[in-house]
Amino acid sequence: MEQHYSRRRFLKTTAVGAVALSAASYARVIGANERISIGQIGCGGRGIGAHMKGVHEHQDTQNFEITAVCDPWRVRQEMASATAKEWYGRPARMFSSYRDLLALKDVDAVMIASPDHAHTTHLKAAAEAGKDVYCEKPLAMRLDRLKDACDAVKKANIVCQIGTQLRSYPTFTGCRELYKTGILGTVGRIEQCRNSERPYWYGYMKDVNPKDVDWKEFLMDRPMRNFDPVLYSGWYGYREFSDGPVPGLGSHFIDLVHYITGAKYPKNSVCLGGTYTWKDEHNFTCPDHVHALWEYPEGFMVSYSTNFGNGSGNSFKIFGDVGVLDMVNWNAPILTAEGANSKKKGPIRGKNPVEEVQRPDHFLDWLQCLRTRKTPNASIEAGYQHGVAVIMAMMSFDSGRRMVYDAEKREIYPG
């Protein structure tokens, strides 16, 4: 009996299982015995160390191969290709431009770990090429591009997982189920302080030979200028390519706020910050201190702050009037009655570990959805929601004004 089923033959023999699928999704189902071909766009620390490594951990149970890699820096292309050879016995094809990788007919899905300014371009192009996608956060730096990319994903009906992987932690899913019980009472504030002694972008600076880099491919639509190895390798610290800690780190927090509480969009946002500690010859333009606030129609305020001058004072809490959910330790969140309204005696006594709710990790969830065509845990809607929130905050940061979101019109206004 033939052991390998082509996609066409599989589709002809699995009509019963297609009842719950739309016609478009059904046409994309991949057979259980068919190997999925994956391309990696962006081969830096996230691309190789998180994306490629993350899916490879499921190699024994999921039939796939990383067959193509793309990065403007030849050195990273070669590292990614060599890693693929070590795992699969043959090197992945190497490209400088995402266009060449997406033109490959035999690539079924791509993982995007490019710089922040390129996410929406790569995501939209992948959707228009009919490729399923795993795309890093923050999803976008501009609202118009966020809408264009999300609309393209929906139109193409592809499987799209956004890289807010914390929502797939068993601990945070446990927090979500606990929140639903109402045990915290009336929630009025959710906050995270995520601090460090120095900005994370300093750790990415490298000595890069300009001869090894496709500089135009990196810049994309940004103005041309002479090659700068600090700008290229430390792009996290420059506003042209990244908006700093609110979208870079705070997008995880905002996504968890949405995941745990069920909220979708803030009503408004204000944000202040600047460079107060790390003033040096690199002239990084992303703030090393920043504080953003959002109001939600559900009736609570959300606060995110970063202090990149001192690493103390980290916190992550949901405050209710009869309980506190302390999630600063991602692997061991705790429920307490600390600071609760003494007149509202609830059922919480002492410190209580939150019961985990097991689920597939973020990469396994995506890999499974490539075959089932189900919606991944961090859907394109979830990505759009965190994108709106962080873009609102950065628009306030730049303008000094409060920003309001109109969900029906999908527009952000001063207000």
pLDDT digits (tens, 9 = 90+) for 184-208: 999 999 999 999 999 999 999 999 9
Neighbours of 180 (CB within 10 A): 11
Neighbours of 3 (CB within 10 A): 5
In this prediction, residues 399-412 reach a mean pLDDT of: 98
pLDDT at 17 over 70: no
**Above pLDDT 90, what percent of the chain?**
91
Matching CATH number, 7-166+363-380, of 3.30.360.10, 1.10.287.130, 3.40.50.720, 3.30.379.10? 3.40.50.720
Task: Select the more confidently predicted residue: 25 or 299.
Answer: 299
In this prediction, residues 368-390 reach a mean pLDDT of: 98
CATH number for the domain formed by residue range(s) 168-358+388-414: 3.30.360.10
> What does pLDDT average to over the chain?
93
CA distance 242 to 255: 18
In this prediction, residues 321-346 reach a mean pLDDT of: 93
Looking at residue 342, its pLDDT comes to 80
Residue ranges covered by each domain of the chain: 7-166+363-380, 168-358+388-414
- CA 260-264-265 angle, to 5 degrees, is 130
Confidence of residue 14 (pLDDT cuts 50, 70, 90): very low
Residues 6 or more apart whose Cβ sits within 8 Å of residue 60 = none
In this prediction, residues 361-375 reach a mean pLDDT of: 98
Extended beta strands in 327-408, E state: 334-336, 352-353, 403-406
Enter the tokens of residue 196.
């460090």
Range scoring the smallest mean pLDDT among 9-18, 52-61, 213-222, 314-323: 9-18
Confidence of residue 217 (pLDDT cuts 50, 70, 90): very high
In this prediction, residues 243-261 reach a mean pLDDT of: 98
Starting at the edge strand that comes first in sequence, how are the strands of the sheet with 109-112 ordered?
Answer: 93-95, 64-70, 36-41, 109-112, 132-135, 160-162
In this prediction, residues 98-116 reach a mean pLDDT of: 98
Looking at residue 31, its pLDDT comes to 64
> 203 vs 26, 49, 208, 230, CA distance in Å?
45, 15, 14, 11
Confidence of residue 344 (pLDDT cuts 50, 70, 90): confident
Looking at residue 251, its pLDDT comes to 98
Closest CA to 269 of 250, 284, 288: 250
pLDDT digits (tens, 9 = 90+) for 268-281: 999 999 999 999 99
Confidence of residue 33 (pLDDT cuts 50, 70, 90): low
pLDDT digits (tens, 9 = 90+) for 133-158: 999 999 999 999 999 999 999 999 99
pLDDT digits (tens, 9 = 90+) for 312-328: 999 999 999 999 999 99
Looking at residue 28, its pLDDT comes to 56
Question: pTM score, two decimals?
Answer: 0.92
In this prediction, residues 370-384 reach a mean pLDDT of: 98
Looking at residue 362, its pLDDT comes to 98
In this prediction, residues 204-215 reach a mean pLDDT of: 98
In this prediction, residues 119-128 reach a mean pLDDT of: 98
Fold match between domain 7-166+363-380 and domain 168-358+388-414: no
